[in-house]
Amino acid sequence: MTEMTGVARTDDHAPAAPPDDVPIVRPAHTARCTASGLIAVTALVACSAAWQAWGSYALVRDPAAEAAQLVAANGRAVTLAWVWLVGSVASTAAFATWLRRARANSARICAAPHRLGPGWVVGAWFVPGLNLWLPAVVVSDVWRASNPDVPPRGADLRAVPTGWVVGLWWGASLLSLLAEAVGVVLAGGHAVAAFGAVYAAAAVGAGLTVVAAAAVLYLMRRVDRWQTGREAVTA
């Protein structure tokens, strides 16, 4: 008969606890929350601008509308356009701040090389022409390297499928900018048709902005959750 002792036996199949000195990755939750708030506000401003464009279109079609009303409506539209522009710049800067930390974390938990170096986290947004593509490359590699299904060592990020959310975010972002640019070009006209075209461009741009915002908020949250508590395999 086996002698009973006061010491509990250890299950041979239980995973061993990681040593206390193993470095653990900690995502930039504060940067993500800041970026998320600014992105959400910018999307709300885009929707407000579309609503204002509709109001201007309705006024110019109304024979009883006074010129002062149209001037005031146009003034509000210009104000919203500037607020949207400032919000877009601020939210992009906040997103780049989060992305810089997320990129560093992804390089620590997955040794696979990224296609672009760390400096491109910021630089990718400022290279004319290439900024239509490079930011998505940076984000795509961060997404892939953060995915817990990707081996920490020996992986090739180019062979890892890109999440659909990355393509949705970047595609909607570019198309929303295009729609806003079309609206700005058409805003100089005074005919009823010009106001209608501006409203259509603003509405499309607002819808795409909301889609892009929802996608990037999900993207940031998912990457942070993937990185939370992960063991670093590189310095």
pLDDT tens-digit map of 6-58: 334 334 443 344 455 568 888 889 999 999 999 999 999 999 989 988 888 88
Q: Which of 89, 93, 90, 113 is nearest to 103 (CA)?
A: 113
End-to-end C-alpha distance for the chain, whole angstroms = 52
How far, in Å, CA of 200 to CA of 223, rounded? Answer: 35
For 53-112, the pLDDT digits (tens) are 888 888 888 887 777 777 777 777 778 888 888 989 999 999 999 999 999 999 999 999
Confidence check: pLDDT of 214 > 90: yes
Q: Whole-model pTM?
A: 0.84
Q: What are the structure tokens assigned to 35, written together? A: 């970026």
Q: List the structure tokens of 220.
A: 């940031």
Would you call 24 helix, strand, or coil by DSSP? Answer: strand
Judge whether residue 3 has pLDDT over 50.
no
Phi/psi at 179 (nearest 5 deg)?
Answer: -65, -40
Domain boundary assignment for the chain? 30-227
Say what angle helices 164-186 and 134-146 make with each other, to 10 degrees.
Answer: 160
- Please report the pLDDT score of residue 109 as a whole number: 94
- Cα(51)–Cα(84) distance, rounded to whole angstroms? 14
